[in-house]
Amino acid sequence: MFGDLFEEDYPSVPYNQYGKGKKLKTKALEPPAPREFTNLSGIRNQGGTCYLNSLLQTLHFTPEFREALFSLGPEELGSLEDKDNPDAKVRIIPLQLQRLFAQLLLLDQEAASTADLTDSFGWTSNEEMRQHDVQELNRILFSALETSLVGTSGHDLINRLYHGTIVNQIVCKECKNVSEKQEDFLDLTVAVKNVSGLEEALWNMYVEEEVFDCDNLYHCGTCDRLVKAAKSAKLRKLPPFLTVSLLRFNFDFVKCERYKETSCYTFPLRINLKPFCEQSELDDMDYTYDLFSVIVHKGGCYGGHYHVYIKDVDRLGNWQFQEKKSKSDVNLKDRQNEGEIDDPLMILKAILLQEESNLIPVDQLGQKLLKKIGISWNKKYRKQHGPLRKFLELHSQLFLLSSDGSTVSLLKNCSLQAELSFQRNDPEVFKTLTSESPGLNDRTSCPHWFDINDSKVQPIQEKDIEQQFQGKESAYMLFYRKSQLQRPPEARANPRYRVPCHLLNEMDAANIELQRKRAEYDSTNNDFELHLHVGPHYHFFNGALHPVSQTESVWDLTFDKRKTLGDLRQSVFQLLDFWEGDMVLSIAKCLPAGLHVYQTLDGDDLTLCEMEIADEEDIFVWNGVEVGGIQIPTGSDCEPLLLNVLHLATRGEGEKCQQLTESPQVFPSNAEVGSVFTALAIPVGAIFLSSTECTNEGWTAIPQEDWRKTFREQGLTNGSLVLIQDSSNSNNSLLTKEGEWITTVNETNWIQVKNLCQSESEEEHVKIPATANTVVFDIRIKAIKELKLMKELAENSCLRPIDRDGKLLCPVPDNCTLKEAELRMGSSLGLCPGKAPTSSQLFLFFAVGSDIQPGTEMEIIVEETITVRDCLKIMLEKSGLPGDTWHLRKMDWCYEAGEPLCEEKS
């Protein structure tokens, strides 16, 4: 299946060509996430490499294999720095495996990458995205490693750890001659179908005898004739590590298809292989194996997903029962809520006791406290004990802060005393708080199992393995280790054990670089800009705040949004060293009218992120009452509006004219509309609003009973146009006699009608005088007369609006007024043949095809009650299209078709 995916030595092809055809790997801006609470690293899936990840994690958690690989130095394997040198002998696969294992042990990231390793295999993006069989991968990877290690001290690494021997024997019943054949195995492949479990499968393979008799006799070489005989197999040599492959996938010869065997198949956590071995005179412990890895396959025979259950032999990870952990966390939070854990000293000491050398950055200490008790320092302790760093400084008899205040540790002479007193005072809380530390809470009798699923690592209980006995998600490969294999005490919870110095240095440098990148990324993503508007450098006039000096009134401040409002206030105090008295910080906003103050920021314990303060926020710094002796209105209710006010002007004494004067005016949004007369100091008259910002559009009068409504209630916004007419200008009123409609300021009072009928006319278009209440029928008849067209058109024509692009819109019903048809004075209408639709009819545009362009539409008039199917028939008849495979889609304004109209009977 894999072909030559693991070919390593190509004398004529340089290594830099191995990756030819690989997919581009874009560098992520965000640095890799740190390890989670298990303190173990997963492996990122490259698209279809879950089977590879599961096998690599099994090898990584085989300490004897890992350390044997680490024992091979650069003098034997070469160096990755020389991989492009054709004269250097570089054994790339074992070097990349070494590097990957070092990353899994020491690099502080949630998941390691196998990109460099698969590159060393010569894999392309096709192999990385295609899933293979993990059992076959296991054999081929070991074969590639053996080939790569030829000529080194590790040439027998695979043979020493994984190779075993099986002997097949045939015993003649006549002469007792024994014919035997020995074969090596890398893994034992056992049947699953019609077998209850691993022990039964091994019994069938290595205890049960196959008898040759009757029609199935055996030819004995010694007797030189067909005789009765018995065939059997035994395990002759057992390896330190036993790999068992389960034949989950079978072929159904009746259905001619593959299938996955999902029946129950048990396997023990500890197995004694003595009954299956040729030699049985040794002690039972020489035949006893412990399960330490289960590769699980989820899915069917044509695809699925692999993950692995692994026993942490060296106790490298933080593990505990999930139920107990959950119960402990709940108990701790319940006790905290009840006021039983109010002493921050006890909590902080417990956290520091878990750390190696009892040393931790102060920022991480706060995060770990939040994780432990479910509430931050600021919310729980700050009010009573002050900031965390200050609290640590005040308790210097227990805590030792670094010179720059960035890290903290427990004083050595009181670390042990703190631990003992803590256990004595509250052993249950101590057990809960230190449950993640193998050094403090070490339960040797309970094995530590983890479920490693690509990038994610979760602790599980040993009994969870039973869930993988059967089903679509079930065990696929089993890995056992001899029970006699003991790990040295110095390897316990020590990920640096026997890692080569050059890899230790590389990982230490990589961790420092990761910390730098995370700090840089953290700063980039958590720092934001605030614009501080300093109150003493502002003055209040015309309804808003305005700066006295641009250079001194606004200060830009870069600040961490994870800090609290109290921290911000302190920073502003330090920045504005001239400030005296109380300081109030308020959210402000720059409006067209000027700066306006909204709500005051409250709650010094809250972070800026919790207060939802945004980047580029404007903050007004003042005393909270007045600016320059003037009391400042605040809040969204009195937000100032900048309105453009127009009114009729006079050219001279007593001379009236239609010239408009426009002036910007600021009003509070909660002020009454009638206050404009007071503000402009003109007699009470009439108020008109424009629906747009253009002065050549229509106006609407505000009834006098609505003058007590506010500007906001009337829907006015910044830039709205307001026309004021005082009572002395009644003769020059822009209103019609009806009092509800005015034309434009230029007093346009006509509609233009274009001749779009086939009949010839001396005139192409005419202007028909009209008002807002003129009926469309009257305009049409007048247009026919003035265009000198045939009288027959009076019964078979209609008026259609023409938009700015020259497109004809839907016909306007004859019985509508211009106002009802929403037609403005000066609009252009087309006189077209055909009647306008009635109130029970629809006028539809339609076009044929998927690439619809403006101007290609056709038109029909149908009844509102017509079905989609009948409407489609009419459209097909009009367009002359045959067939019954057409369907309708609704088009939007930009000629894009939507979903098909499927309900044909609707």
Question: Which of 708, 690, 711, 685 has the alpha carbon at shortest distance from 700?
Answer: 690
Pair of tokens at residue 832? 């077209």
* Annotated active-site residue in 50, 220, 832, 871: 50
Name every residue whose Cβ is closer than 8 Å to that of residue 859 and which is 6 or more positions away in sequence.
Answer: 843, 844, 845, 846
Contact 138, 55 (CB under 8 A): yes
The number of beta carbons lying within 10 Å of the beta carbon of residue 90 is 19
Task: Give dist(CA 414, CA 634) in Å, integer.
Answer: 55
DSSP classification of residue 302: T
Q: Are 573 and 585 in contact (CB under 8 A)?
A: no
Query: Which pairs count as long-range contacts for 414-422, CB under 8 Å and 24+ apart, including other chains?
Result: 415/352, 415/353, 415/358, 418/349, 418/353, 419/349, 419/353, 422/346, 422/349, 422/350, 422/353
| Cα Rg, the chain, nearest whole Å | 43
Q: Kindly write down the DSSP assignment for every residue of 495-507, as one continuous string.
A: TTTT--HHHHHHH
Per annotation, catalytic residue among 305, 385, 395, 765: 305
Tokens of 671: 């002020």
User: What are the φ and ψ backbone dihedral angles of 162, each rounded to 5 degrees?
Assistant: -125, -20
- The structure tokens listed for 232 are 């059997």
Respond yes or no: is residue 301 known to be catalytic. Answer: no
Token pair listed for 325:
């952990």
Closest CA to 430 of 347, 333, 520: 347
Is-catalytic flag, 50? yes
d(CA 42, CA 107) in angstroms, rounded, equals 11
**Residues 138-154 as b or e (16 or more Cβ within 10 Å = b):** bebbbebbbebbeebeb
Phi (first) and psi of residue 627, to 5 degrees:
-130, 120
CB-based contact 380:373 (threshold 8 Å): yes
Active site residues: 50, 305
